[in-house]
Structure 1
Amino acid sequence: MPCLIKIQNATIKQKGKTVFDQMEFDWKEGQHWAVIGESGVMMTAFLDTLLGRTMVTSGNVIRPFSEDYQKTKTLSGEINSFRDLISTVSQQYTFRNKSNLQNFYYQQRFNSMESEDTATVWNYLSEIEVKIPGYWNLKKVLDLMRLNDLKEKSLIKLSNGETRRLAIAAALMKNPKLLLMDQPMTGLDVQSRMDFGRVLQEIAYSGIHLMLTAHSDEIPESITHVAVLADQKVSKVIQVEELNGLELDTDSGNGFDHLLMGELLRDAKKTDFKKILEMENVCVRYGDKKILNNINWTVLPNSKWLLKGENGAGKSTLLSLILGENPQAYSNNFWLFDRKRGSGESIWDIKKNIGFVAPELSRFFPANQTCLKVVLSGLFDTMGLFKKVSPEQEKTALAWLKLFRLESTANLLLRQVSLENQRFVLLARALIKKPALLVLDEASQGMDELQRKLFRKTIDQVCHLMPISIIYVSHYEEDIPACVDKVLQLSQGEVKDIQ
């Protein structure tokens, strides 16, 4: 079979560090690949290598798949690159407003007037420049990714799963030869993950070659080969049917330093609140559309809840009420920390009792914020540090980074560290003030299998060491900490089950 990409005895560096050594890999016509491994950082670096975003210091990376295209374009005097034939779906999404500025803030998605400055799904896809005509067009990607009902929805109001579907649709609009996707199933609910195999089959039938990074227990249909990354190389290549029985070393040990965590949480006090949260027939609507309908829910001190539901069920809107981000809280019977919303409390009165971690949070910090500043900002409930801190506060923040083995990142910008390390920086930011309520919204999304287990163990450690209430959102049963023993399930904006 003709070769698409070949890596020959390559030493590869990224950000000055060797990520692969003596790397060998062949991608042939007709093959669709899943890349798995112990490290999410390494999996992303592998895709970056195929894209030419890493430095090859010895050996070769050759890309025969683009040779004919590039020769034709060069002869006609057109600027070209092998990247013209590759589409990517990364774990990070950057959307701009209608003025082409990326100046969103987190609360904006819940404010109906301000979110109007953002393009809609239809606007976004319609404006994609299609350089290579082919099978995929606007109608076909809307149908495939189930986006027709979202055409008029503002980008900033999309859920994580909806955003992922849009990113794949945008990648297909370019009619690529190769489609590279980094953890494309994270953020998708169970049904969407089941449907994903069908989506990939349709993409493969159209002539596009697929490669995706994934967890070893969720390789979708249409994948033919699996590359296992270990020891700075592709350590094993197997046919997908041989995957059963393959074991990765995902033992996360005993978690982080229990003594240091105990010291950092030592002064956490048992709350005096009678109720953390109480909702009575809470409704949220935008125009004629009801997002939440008659929600009744009580969260008591030290209770641990799983909030679940399909993509678009209303989970993010419900959390926005709790976090003080949604102005419709004032028009409902809704109490936080024994105080009715709209009774004179400030947003800071609410936030001081809540720690919050979500994957999209990292997008809203100013670009100049270091990891240390991000952790310190948790003391002031701001998206970034904007005031002078005491030596004691800085010492505490550094200790939190040390706990999560991230002391070397203190002076690095948040956007310079890996996505999985960003999650632990955000967790340190949430815990530094020892909150009464910790809200974790798909907080381990995008982590590799080892990091996911470590994150889950960490939450169990926290619950063992301090009195705290938890609201945990996840589509993955295996990611739910053992301490979580209550469930609120939403479906189409209503309570489907509570136990």
Structure 2
Amino acid sequence: MAKVLSIRNATVRFLEKIVFEDMDFEWEEGQHWAIIGSSGVELTAFLDTILGRTMVTKGEILRFFAEKYQQEKKESKEVHSFRDLIAIVSQQYAFRNKSNLQNFYYQQRFNSMDSEETLTVAEYLLGLDHQKGEWNIKKVLNLFKLESLKDKSLIKLSNGETRRLAMASALVKNPKLMLLDQPLTGLDIQTRNSFDRILQEIRESGIHVMISTNSHEIPASISHVAVLGDKKVKETMERKSLDLSEFFPIQLKGFDGLLLKRLLSKNEEEGFKRIIHLENIKVQYGEKVILKDINWTVNPGEKWLLKGENGAGKSTLLSLVLGENPQAYANNIWLFDKKRGSGESIWDIKKQIGFVAPELSRFFPANQTCLKVVLSGLFDTMGLFRKVNKEQEDMAMKWLKLFKVETLAGKLLRQVSLEEQRFILLARALIKVPSLLVLDEASQGMDEYQRVLFKNTIDQICGLIPITLIYVSHYQEDVPDCVDRVFQL
């Protein structure tokens, strides 16, 4: 059988570490792969190795799928790369505004004037490089159910909608190989259930597919599975032969409970009567109504799960709570016993709230180290822009030490793995010991071990202090055990 790609005896460096040694892997035509393993860093590094983003210091990678294309381009003296034939959907995607600057800030998505500076879904897809092939803009809009969103500003898309657009953007390139890094994270149950049909259609169009995924979420249209571990491909098999009981026994060692308790100690409790009170909330942009007749009261110490399909308005609702949405002033909203618009500043609200969402890391300036990101939580800014004292810096270092990422203090946030970013953002949210903790898909993109660790950590925190919690997740297994109330949009 003809080969797509071979990795032979390869030693690979990624994020300044050796991630693979003496690794072998064969990809043959007609095979569609799921890559699973206990380390999310390894899963991402494996896809990046195929894409040529890592450093191979020993061994070789043979990309047979690109040989004919490269020969033709060489003969016609055109600039080319094997990457022209690969589309990747990573977990970190960034869209730009009409000036081609990626200078979005988090609040911008809720401000109707700012969104005019951003491309719409249709404009964005039209601006991409297209290879000739079966997939055009109309077909990908239809496949990923984006037709109704084609005139929507990119910055107003929900997390799940953005993920669908990222996949559509990859497919419209008509690649030979389509690589998807944890494609199911951030998608609601309905979209996850239809994902297998989507993959099947991609397969039938002649594209070879490889996904990194949770071992319990391997789509039926995947034919083969590779298990990573011990810095190599430990085992490969047909999907039907996979026995999960052989892999990934999760033996969790939690974080230092005594240190966590000391870091969470607060001089005094605030004594709020109500954390959130919403009456008949309505939010709309132009003719589009996002939220209507929303009533919700959150009392101190309560633990809530906020549920809803992609695009149901969860992010918009949270933006009202976080003080990010200008439409808060046109509604009856009380936060921490104060009515919005009664003279309180946005900083009065923010100092009581710790917030983590996967997209937050996109909005920090590129020069922000992990230590600065944690310290910025003291001032509720997207980055550190003022001097701090030694006591504050020591406190931030203790949070990094608690989550076992203190060695990353001087590294840029964008240089560390997604798992590490999530715990750094959690440290940023907790450093001021907030009254309300809002976690919006906060463990999205983590591997299986890290997701369980993150969930248990939230339970540990909620067991130590009477913090109020709002948790958003499409995965029931990620919801902390302490959550006992549900608000469904």
Match of 1:217 in 2: 216
| Distance in 2 between residues matched to 1:327 and 1:78, nearest whole Å | 51
Q: Give the counterpart letter for 2:144 in structure 1.
A: M
Distance in 1 separating the partners of 2:285 and 2:117:
16
Report the residue type matching 1:137 in the other structure.
N
For 1:223-253, what per-residue CA distance to the aligned partner results, in whole angstroms no more than 9, with x for missing partners?
A: 0000000000000111111224444325252
Contact 2:278 2:334 in 1 (8 A): yes
User: Counterparts of 1:247 and 1:320 in 2: how far apart (Å)?
Assistant: 43
Output the CA distance in 2 between the equivalents of 1:268 and 1:190: 42
The answer to whether the 8 Å contact 1:33/1:210 transfers is yes
Rounded to whole Å, the distance in 2 between the matches of 1:254 and 1:303 is 27
Structure-to-structure mapping, 1:46-195, within 5 angstroms: 46-130=46-130, 132-195=131-194
Q: Any gaps of 5 or more consecutive residues in structure 1?
A: 491-499
- Tell whether the 8 Å contact from 1:14 to 1:55 is kept in structure 2 after alignment: yes
- Tell whether the 8 Å contact from 1:227 to 1:238 is kept in structure 2 after alignment: yes
Q: Equivalents in 2 of 1:252, 1:384: separation in Å?
A: 35
Q: Which residue of 1 aligns with 2:12?
A: 12
**Match for 1:87: what amino acid?**
A
| Matching residue's letter, 2:312 | A
Secondary structure of 1:388 counterpart = coil
Alignment of 1:1-40 (within 5 A): 1-40=1-40
Residues in 1 aligned to 2:145 and 2:468: alpha-carbon distance in whole angstroms:
36
Partner of 2:447: 448
* CA–CA distance in structure 1, aligned partners of residues 16 and 306 of structure 2: 41
The equivalent residue for 1:384 is 383
Q: Is residue 2:281 matched to residue 1:285? A: no
Answer whether contact 1:12 1:20 (CA < 8 A) is retained.
yes
Distance 1:256 1:355 in 2: 19
Tell me, what secondary structure is at the counterpart of 1:284? strand
* 2:15 and 2:415 in contact (8 A); partners too: no
Deviation string 1:33-80 (CA, Å, 9 cap, x unpaired) is 000000000000000111111122221111111111111111111111
8 Å contact from structure 1 (residues 38, 250) kept in 2:
no
- How far residue 254 of structure 1 moved from its aligned partner, in angstroms, is 3.7
- The match for 2:299 is 300
Hey, what's the Cα distance between the residues in 2 that align with 1:122 and 1:314? 21
**What one-letter code is carried by the residue in structure 2 that aligns with 1:171?**
A
- Structure 2, gaps ≥5 residues long: none
**1:118/1:155 contact within 8 Å kept:** yes
| Farther-moved stretch of structure 1 (203-212 vs 5-14) | 5-14
- Bigger drift between 107-116 and 6-15 goes to 6-15
Q: What is the rounded CA distance, in whole Å, between the counterparts of 1:391 and 1:465 in structure 2?
A: 26
Superposed CA deviations along residues 139-181 of structure 1, whole A, max 9, x for unmatched, are: 1111111110000000000011101111111111111000001
Contact in 1 for aligned 2:175/2:207 (Cα 8 Å): yes
**Residue-by-residue CA offset, 1:388-420 (whole Å, 9 max, x unaligned):** 111001000000000000000000011011011
C-alpha distance in 2 between matches for 1:264 and 1:249: 32
Contact 2:111–2:325 (CA<8 Å) still a contact in 1? yes
1:226 partner SS: strand
Alignment of 1:338-353 (within 5 A): 338-353=337-352
Paired residue for 1:493?
A: none
Deviations 1:350-394 (A, max 9, x none): 000000000000111111110000000100111111111110010
Q: Taking every aligned residue pair, what percent have the same amino acid on both sides? A: 67
TM-score (norm. length: structure 2): 0.99
Deviation at 1:268, TM superposition (A): 5.9
**Alignment coverage as a number of residue pairs:** 489
SS in 2 for 1:401: helix
Alignment of 1:349-360 (within 5 A): 349-360=348-359
**Distance in structure 2 (CA, Å) of the matches to 1:267 and 1:113:** 40
1:153 aligned partner, one-letter code = K
Q: Distance in 2 between matches of 1:246 and 1:290?
A: 47
**Counterpart residue identity of residue 349, structure 1:** D
SS at match of 2:57: strand
User: How many angstroms apart in 1 are the aligned matches of 2:389 and 2:422?
Assistant: 25
CA contact 1:176–1:208 (8 Å) conserved in 2: yes
Q: Structure 2 vs 1, CA of residues 252 and 298 (structure 1 numbering), >3 Å: closer, same or farther?
A: farther
1:429 aligned partner, one-letter code:
R
